[in-house]
Structure 1
Amino acid sequence: MDTVTVTPNPRRWWALGALVASMLTLGFDMTILNVALPTMAAELGATTGQQQWMADAYVVVFAALMLPAGLLGDRFGRRRILIVGLGIFLVGSLAGALAGNVEWVVAARAFMGVGGALVTPLALSVLPSLFGSEERTKAVGVISAASALGLPLGPIIGGWLLDHFWWGSVFLVNVPMAAIGIAACVFLLPETSDPASPKVDALSTALTATGLGALIYAIIEAPGRGWGDPLVLAMSGAAAVLITGLVLRERRVARPMLDMELLSHRGFLFSTLAATLVMFVLSGLMFVLPPYLQAVLGHDALGTGLRLLPMMGGLMVSARAAQPVVARFGPRAVVSAGLVVLAFSALLGSRTTVDSGYGFTALWLCVTGLGFGLAVVPAMDGALAALPRDRAGSGSGLLMTMRQVGAAIGIALLGSLLAGVFRDRLDVTGLPAPAADTAGDSVVAAHLIAERTGSAHLAASADSAYVHGMGVILLVCGVAALVTALLAAAFLPKATPAPATESTGPDMGVPAEDARQ
């Protein structure tokens, strides 16, 4: 561990405020787009697959670049790379706000992912230069809380913006926040580095990015093209080869960027699996729920954001309560119970019908949030606590990367399954071929075609097909959560070892301790 003597300075709290603003922006950017997707689908003519790319472009790049981004900060200066990351995020947000078509939105989101990957690991790594050991835990906890708070704020802020401005405002809101962060970093943060850190492995970074990208492409394109399509098969094969090449390379190098040997620790492996599964389900649900609330139930964007609060509320409450429960019953029992609650809520939600109304939805969303919080907090803490002290940093990096991979695959796989079920169930009898093909793109597109043709039958069929598809998604989530609960109950350690890292309390998006403290 680096030990840094810090002279108390009132400016450190202003600097922390800037970092909090940066993490808050990144936090709600993970969910703000979900509320905007139905509106963007209508105005840009985006298919379900294109909506998946708008959501996934950010997450795939974020996951692929997070580890090398942390190493770049170590070697070339954390403040410098943090400023660069915020600048890239700002430019990407501006480009997204001004984009005129789906392709430019996807490109802007990918560019923002580069910025997000640079900011996230470095926001924590600059804290030792600002705070002494007595204050550092509190500072890390504040940043962790800001990242978590962004999740429920995203849908509400996005909904309000969409009700008052055009869809590009969900990107434009990032610009002033990022600009404040840049200014604060320039004037308030000292420069720190660690020249002894491992070098950035360009080949491993390229293998990660291309392997993930090929896998996500195959999953998203499969419903439209078919799993037997030559392009889908080629991309699936390429993904398998690239990811295998990454694993083999990382096992050979002396100082790996992605330390695969960490997965040999049973507690770390199964805790990481649980946390990854939770992100898989959460990201998938956040993708499929807004169209249901907007297109099927008829709520506006702000109403949709507010109606997602039961899930976020349940998540925040259970995350805060998880630590004392773990102290009483142990992480294995709490993680397993959280996953069982998550499975129950998903199976309950799969019983949703077109006529269920929001009351039933709010019920299972609240239970879903409770399950999320009970599972993810002790799973993340248990993953890091299972590692030797000198591996906590690389372990937190691998844990965060796996969680982001889970999120990307959740959006791709669950979104693609939904798209396939929706298209198969939609009744387009009597529609001209072009209109029928467009209606099958998404529930939003089907409602637009129904309005143009005056077909109440098509609108009703679209609602029924989408709710059925959402039920299938929830059923898959429930089974996955139940299987993971059984694995956690069988293989997680009974008790958490003495923590090797400073505890930061509940955290939805930031590791308990950064690799480079």
Structure 2
Amino acid sequence: MVTVNHAEDVRHDPRRWWALGALVASMLVLGFDMTILNVALPTLARDLGATTGEQQWMVDSYVVVFAALMLPAGLLGDRFGRRLMLITGLGVFLAGSVVGALAGDVHAVIAARTVMGIGAALVMPLALSVLPSLFGADERTKAVGIISAASALGLPLGPIVGGWLLNHFWWGSVFLINVPMVAIGVAACAFLLPETRDPTSPRVDTLSTVLTATGLGAVIYAIIEAPDRGWGDPLVLGVFAAAAALLAGLVLRERQEARPMLDMTLLGRRGFLFNTLAATLVMFVLSGLMFVLPPYLQAVLGHDALGTGLRLLPMMGGLMIAAKGAQPVVARFGARAVVAVGLVVLAFAALLGSRTTVDSGYGFTALWLSVAGVGFGFSVIPAMDGALAALPADRAGSGSGLLMTLRQVGGAVGIALLGSLLASAFRDRLDVTGLSGEAAHTAGQSVVAAHLVAARAGSARLADSANGAYVHGMGLVLLVSAVAALLAALLAAAFLPGAPAAVRNEPEEEAPVMAGPGGDAGQ
């Protein structure tokens, strides 16, 4: 039972659209915070001396915490009040943004991103869960469309806004831009949103939450540390073993719960399992690409931060086009065919991108980025739809939470694994002949660091070697991405249900909210 104070009055109050505006502002911030830091990574590498591994942590600290806390955050809102926890989440996100803007070293930036991930985990599910209290069934589709479009718009806006800020201000401005927007969101939510609760929701399981966060964190740590220490290093192997034990403990714990926070039994449903797997692998590839492309565009091709953001638009353009066209194509050919073909297109784009050379230029990059965007859109939208449609009405909430969590995990692992592959390949291929031990070590940390060492040493040969080594590593990343997309396509073609899932009759309060093309439930 959902308790809403004066629900019918709220649903006819003209201020509900202003309240939706507050939610849109919040989701827009979350949307572009998923990508705004990527374009700043080369600047952070230069100004703070961040290694490739530290750059991975700057991105992944946000994503791992976001994934681990999203489910318990939603349950906290159900139990203690969605407006209260939404405002709390925005406040935490605001605090993390301020810490990031004032940070003076790499570790402070990572800590700030971790705090922001906690806030984002509260905001994402709760911004969506308050919609039924604001809008009746006749208006909710329009409201969901607006909030999803805002969140999707944030993805391409992130690199552009970040690039413009970096061209005019210091790197901390990519954090400071959040402050006014989040402050407006807090004020609007406090004055315009009704308070809603669901006292019957499952309790927040602290042990499961700890097992999720530490298990995922251990996996990511081991993957990021492996290029430096070696995959056979005792610490790396020990952390992998600890991660396996923690995640196994999580599964056992959740299987024993009468009302689990993370409902693993849903993975026994074929439609949900394989659609979720397809969507997770798409996020694996997308996150990896968004990590490796900005240094290529800035360090190798020589574009500034704003130019880099603008040059990522072909992929977002292709994704938006596919998102608009996905529904009629699915209606004509069926979701299984569209998801499989979309993944094949994505695999082709990644394979094409793996042929990039130092002399290819941006035109070739724009071509395969556009194709990749189309593949992303035609694979992830029907996969998300299919996963949600495969859920029974009484488990729509827990199922959509599990879907969102696994997608975030796919993104975090993509950044860690593909970033580590890039770091290893770059270091192995870089020619540091003639450099001192310290200079050689610094140059091997990232392509930006190598260019800084080359500039100080006046060595054009080192700069050329750094460009070649980075393009070689990026090619390997794209090749692995192509294999992952092709594997997902084969699984989709073989195991996705051929017929569309039956439309469910769901209670109005529990109607699942569909995602925008760029992320989870409007992300």
- For 1:74-473, list aligned pairs within 5 A: 74-473=78-477
Q: CA RMSD in A?
A: 1.3
Number of corresponding residues: 513
Aligned amino acid, residue 128 of structure 1:
P
Residue number among 469, 475, 485 corresponding to 1:481 in the alignment: 485
Deviation at 1:503, TM superposition (A): 7.0
Deviation at 1:495, TM superposition (A): 2.0
Q: State the Cα deviation string for residues 38-82 of structure 1 (Å, max 9, x = none).
A: 001000000000000000000000000000000000000000000
SS of the residue 1:195 aligns to: coil
Deviation at 1:510, TM superposition (A): 3.7
Q: Distance in 1 between matches of 2:112 and 2:276?
A: 30
Q: Distance in 2 between matches of 1:55 and 1:3?
A: 38
- Paired residues of 1:279 and 1:406 also in contact (CA < 8 A): yes
Aligned amino acid, residue 474 of structure 1:
L
Aligned: 1:508 with 2:518: yes
Deviation at 1:3, TM superposition (A): 9.3
Deviation at 1:2, TM superposition (A): 5.2
Q: State the Cα deviation string for residues 148-188 of structure 1 (Å, max 9, x = none).
A: 11100000000000000000000000011110010001110
Q: TM-score, normalised by structure 2?
A: 0.97
Q: Distance in 2 between matches of 1:157 and 1:52?
A: 21
**Unaligned runs of at least 5 residues, structure 2:** 505-510
- Paired residues of 1:86 and 1:119 also in contact (CA < 8 A): yes
Q: Distance in 2 between matches of 1:244 and 1:502?
A: 29
Deviation at 1:462, TM superposition (A): 0.2
State the 4+ residue runs in structure 1 displaced beyond 6 angstroms: none
Q: Distance in 1 between matches of 2:154 and 2:88?
A: 22
Pick which of 500-509 and 64-73 moved more.
500-509
- Paired residues of 1:56 and 1:408 also in contact (CA < 8 A): yes
- Paired residues of 1:377 and 1:508 also in contact (CA < 8 A): no
Aligned amino acid, residue 254 of structure 1:
A
- Paired residues of 1:326 and 1:334 also in contact (CA < 8 A): yes
Deviation at 1:135, TM superposition (A): 0.6
Aligned amino acid, residue 281 of structure 1:
V
SS of the residue 2:453 aligns to: helix
- Paired residues of 2:335 and 2:383 also in contact (CA < 8 A): yes
- Paired residues of 2:384 and 2:515 also in contact (CA < 8 A): no
- Paired residues of 2:358 and 2:468 also in contact (CA < 8 A): yes
Q: TM-score, normalised by structure 1?
A: 0.98
Q: State the Cα deviation string for residues 447-499 of structure 1 (Å, max 9, x = none).
A: 00000000000000000000000000000000110011001000000122133
Alignment CA distance shift 1:512-1:143 (3 Å) = closer
Q: Which residue number in structure 2 is paired with residue 58 of structure 1?
A: 62
Q: Which residue number in structure 1 is paired with residue 508 of structure 2?
A: none
Deviation at 1:389, TM superposition (A): 1.4
Q: Distance in 1 between matches of 2:8 and 2:338?
A: 38
- Paired residues of 1:36 and 1:301 also in contact (CA < 8 A): yes
Aligned amino acid, residue 165 of structure 1:
F
Q: Distance in 1 between matches of 2:217 and 2:516?
A: 31
Pick which of 363-372 and 499-508 moved more.
499-508
Deviation at 1:508, TM superposition (A): 2.7
Q: Distance in 2 between matches of 1:106 and 1:80?
A: 27
